[in-house]
Amino acid sequence: MSSKFNYPPEIKEKRKLYSLFNGVKDPLGVISGNHAIAGDSYHLKATFTNKYFIFSQDKELVEYILKQNHKNYFKSEIQSVTLGKYLGKGLLTNNGKDWLKQRRLIQPGFSKAKIANLVSIMKEEIDSAFSPFDKEPEIDLYDFFHTLAFNIVAKTLFSSDIDESKVKELGKIITEVQEVFAKEVRIPFYTQILQTLGVIDKTIRKSNKAKQIIQSVLEKRRNSGDEKNDLLDMLIHTRYEDTQLPMSDEQLVDEMLILFIAGHETTANALSFIFFEISQNPEVEKKLQQEITEEGENLFTTENLMKKSYTSNVIKEAMRLHSPAWAIDRQALEDDHFKDYSWKKGTLIILYITGLHRNPKYWSDPDSFIPERFDDENAKNFAYYPFGAGPRLCIGEHFAMMEMALIVRKFYKDYSFISFHKELQKKALVTLRTTSLKGKIIKNLT
């Protein structure tokens, strides 16, 4: 079958075995190493299942899959089936017409106009979270940002008060689900082993617990009779065009769970990397604080937060070096080809965003933190996709960028952060994260 197709160079024999056994604990190192050996695109053939995997950090191929020929590609079974059994059928895991219907329903809740109305709520949450800094200077910002970002999502999108213990429980469940999911995806036949050991059933029960917590938020809203004019109200009252029926509770909970996860986790992970990079680059911090001073009373206006600035450059550069969405997966619906390569229906395509963002073909001095590179007038055409691209571009991009800009500016207006780490330990699950960011907060004298 494969003889009629011209796949990219193959990773095989010893390197294939190395990739198999080390891919769970160090996927970034393994994939980057394979690209160093085979070039910007390579393929692996799963020995027992005969499935073909293409990995690519080539800008043109990434754009072909996500934009030019996106109709031939669904989210792969890695997410739609394996992750879907834990998180349900929300925007992250759904495909085809079902995905499109849900996207059209939810999209209006993330318009720039809607997001602009949320700044005051974000400010209140941030000010409340920052208030202990003067008395408790030592902190793990990784944990701090996860709690803060979760509370911001809860208040801005769902106008909801969720008990602190529930926030921590949801975060713990989400991490545990990702740990199991990563093992299922990266080790052949591991699903059967986990199933035999009862791990999968246990993890599904945990995810059902998370859904029960979300269901309680939904029921609290319905029972209150309040009109909040937020995303949750919109989801409850919206109707499908074809049937004029509302979303089922099951679908509502799935969408809310995905939005809670996507709306807080990627942002919290990105903030950890942003603050780490600033802590390692004093000249960047100085320039950032200079901009904060110069902006004066316009510092926290919606227009100012959303416009191009040195603040946004810092955020973008940190997300280039440490993109939370470190890979994007797609599966070919039909045979396809691009330039010299061709592949069969069912081939899984792994677009390696981390590699793309550090590819010396597209970036000068790719491993250095240089926010000024985004001043380039051609920046819109960079090999840069932290939020994906094409029709499945992250629905919360503007929300996340405004939230991160607000947090960065509010913090560095009054404080500095000294990291206890000189390097960050990274963990690549569904999203790329660090394990901690411990350090000390210093109150600015001016």
**What is the rounded CA–CA span in Å between residue 261 and residue 150?**
8
Strand partners, 337: 342
Residue with tokens 């999502």: 153
Residue 369 · residue 317 · CB < 8 Å: yes
- DSSP character at residue 325: S
- Phi and psi at residue 215, in whole multiples of 5°? -60, -35
**What is the rounded CA–CA span in Å between residue 200 and residue 177?**
9
Tokens of 267: 């942002």
> Helix 310-321 to helix 397-414 angle, to the nearest 10 degrees?
110
Q: What angle do CA 271, 431, 131 make, to 5 degrees?
A: 25
Q: How many CB atoms lie within 10 A of CB 183?
A: 15
**What is the rounded CA–CA span in Å between residue 389 and residue 70?**
10
List helix spans (H) across 131-248: 141-158, 164-186, 190-196, 199-224, 231-237
Q: Which helix (H) or strand (E) holds 340?
A: none
Tokens of 440: 């000390």
**What is the rounded CA–CA span in Å between residue 65 and residue 69?**
6
Q: Which candidate, 431, 121, 427, places its Cα nearest to that of 300?
A: 121
Amino acid 418 reads: I
Q: How many alpha carbons fall within 13 Å on the CB side of residue 14?
A: 1
Residue 439 · residue 411 · CB < 8 Å: no
**What is the rounded CA–CA span in Å between residue 209 and residue 211?**
5
On whether 394 is known to bind a ligand per the annotation, the reply is yes
- DSSP character at residue 68: I
Cite the annotated binding site for heme by residue number.
394
Binding residues: 394
